[in-house]
Amino acid sequence: MQKKIIIIIIGIAIIGLMSLAALNDNKLTEAQSPKNLPADKVEVFLFHATKRCITCITIGKLAGETVNEYFQPELKNGQIEFREINIDLPENKDMARKFQASGSSLFINAISNGKDNIAQDTKVWLLVSSETQFKSYLKDKIDNLLGK
């Protein structure tokens, strides 16, 4: 009985996130518009709680694979940073506050001239079931931020 309740709650949460993603079409803010690119640095951070659902784990896995597969030179020179950050750990509270992260969420920070341009990316929740689409979307987004 308890497993069924947990599955229902997770399902409702996923539907809610998908609805939020549909409402937020992830347009770039004015600070992130192509005319202000390329970013000096791009941070790709997956925030999560200690207890994670399979979808959150998969988003972290796919985001990490995308960054590692397509952006090795940028990772090596520090232009891109990828991290998974547990918001339940005391040492990560300031970072979670800076990004206004709560629960599972993917944030991309395009830093230009020392200025943060932090944006939550909710579209990844809709693409998690297709590795190819997920990686293509995230690669294109990062390429765009880097001015490629």
CA distances from 59 to 27, 105, 118, 143, 147 (A): 20, 9, 18, 19, 24
Would you give per-residue pLDDT tens digits along the chain (148 residues)?
Answer: 666 555 555 555 565 445 444 444 444 433 344 445 689 999 999 999 999 999 999 999 999 999 999 999 999 999 999 999 999 999 999 999 999 998 899 999 999 999 999 999 999 999 999 999 999 999 999 999 999 8
Strand partners, 42: 80, 110
Q: Does domain 2-146 have CATH number 3.20.20.70?
A: no
CB contact burial 53-79 (16+ within 10 A = b; e otherwise): bebbebbbebbeebbeebbeebeeeeb
Sorted by where each begins, the domain ranges of the chain are: 2-146
pLDDT at 92 (0 to 100):
94
pLDDT at 119 (0 to 100):
95
pLDDT at 91 (0 to 100):
96
Query: Residue 66 in contact with residue 133, Cβ under 8 Å?
Result: no
Q: Which residues contact 134 (CB under 8 A, 6 or more apart)?
A: 59, 62, 66, 124, 127, 128
The one-letter amino acid at 147: G
pLDDT at 87 (0 to 100):
94
